[in-house]
A and B are shown apart, each in its own frame.
Chain A
């Protein structure tokens, strides 16, 4: 189903805790992305990476961190500095070259208690 997996599907966190969301792809895609989805606000880009060991901030990077040590993996850490972390988080990947489709993972729903 797309070759992108995210875990866990649901995640609950206490305030003040850091949590890491997993994203793995077996599509051999170079580029990977993290989006946050809130009701009525569409998809907002948190971070993206076009190549291993390199990544760029998106539109809402504050309070988040990422790493890209392997081509297949792009984990997202939601830190305690993120003021309102409750949301649906989507990972995506894309092959190199122009006009290639961006594929999404199934998402992780994070709830802060």
Chain B
């Protein structure tokens, strides 16, 4: 089955700095890679995703890059703000045909942005 490794487990940055979280996956068939943000005591919410036929995707201050050859993908947050402080999870899945599949999550990264 799929295995997703996420690093670092904790990340502390100053407001305005950039933050990068990296994930590697094992199953070369995986073709969809979402990122979720979970604030303390809340549900995870999708912030950005990328499909395997795309190398990079941006949405305002956040971007995701995918290297299929190396089987790793990264989340980039620029101009960080205190409200970016949360736990971030990467995930991977093969989606296709009639199978809805199941997401495999990384272990999570606790991001703290200091004012």
Residues of A bordering B, CB below 8 Å: 2, 30-31, 33, 40-45, 48, 50, 58, 90, 94, 96, 98-102, 104-107
A104 touches B44 (CB 8 A): yes
Are the C-beta atoms of B43 and A94 separated by less than 8 Å?
no
Nearest B residue to A101, CB-CB: B46
Is B102 a contact of A45 with CB atoms below 8 Å? yes
Whole-angstrom distance from the CB of B99 to the nearest CB of chain A?
Answer: 8
Chain A neighbourhood of B36, CB < 8 A: 104
In the complex, which residues 29-73 of chain B have their Cβ closer than 8 Å to any Cβ of chain A? 32, 34, 36, 42-46, 49, 51
Chain B residue nearest to A30 in the complex (CB): B100
Residues of B within 8 A of A90 (CB): 43-44
**Can you give 26 A-B contacts (C-beta < 8 A)?**
A33-B102, A33-B103, A40-B107, A40-B108, A41-B107, A42-B105, A43-B105, A45-B102, A45-B103, A45-B104, A50-B99, A50-B100, A98-B32, A98-B95, A98-B96, A99-B51, A99-B95, A100-B95, A101-B46, A101-B49, A102-B46, A102-B103, A104-B45, A105-B43, A106-B42, A107-B43
Interface size on B, residues (CB 8 A): 24
User: In the assembled complex, which residues on chain A have CB atoms less than 8 Å from the CB atom of B107?
Assistant: 40-42
Most buried by A among B9, B42, B102, B104: B102
Q: Which residues of chain A are near B89, meaning CB under 8 Å?
A: 42-43
A41–B36 Cα distance when bound, in Å, is 15
**Contact indicator A2/B43 (Cβ below 8 Å):** yes
CA distance A42 to B44 in the complex (A): 11
A42 to B99, CA, bound (A): 24
Q: Which 4 A-B pairs have the closest CB atoms?
A: A31-B100, A104-B43, A98-B95, A42-B107
B11 to chain A, nearest CB (A): 14
Max chain A Cβ within 10 angstroms of own Cβ: one of B43, B51, B89, B108: B43
